Amino acid sequence: MSRFAQDLIELQRLCLGGSGALTQHLLREIARNLIAAGVADERGGC
């Protein structure tokens, strides 16, 4: 498993453990960036 994937799982674990709004915000930002990159890739880099 990549380091990035491990970090995502750790952030999710912290979020589910009730560590707060900052962790939830970080997860949302990471998800938004991953989704945007996937959309750009599917559209040929648009």
Written as one string, the DSSP assignment of 14-39 is HHHTT--HHHHHHHHHHHHHHHHHHH
Question: What does the pLDDT read at residue 6?
Answer: 82
Question: What does the pLDDT read at residue 45?
Answer: 58
In the chain, where the domains are located: 3-37
Amino acid at 14: L
Q: What is the pLDDT of residues 1-46, one digit of tens each?
A: 778 778 778 877 877 877 778 878 888 888 888 788 777 776 775 5
Question: What does the pLDDT read at residue 31?
Answer: 82
Question: What does the pLDDT read at residue 46?
Answer: 54
Which 3 state secondary structure label does DSSP give 17?
coil
Question: What does the pLDDT read at residue 1?
Answer: 72
Q: Which two tokens stand for residue 37?
A: 């990159």
Contact 34, 8 (CB under 8 A): no
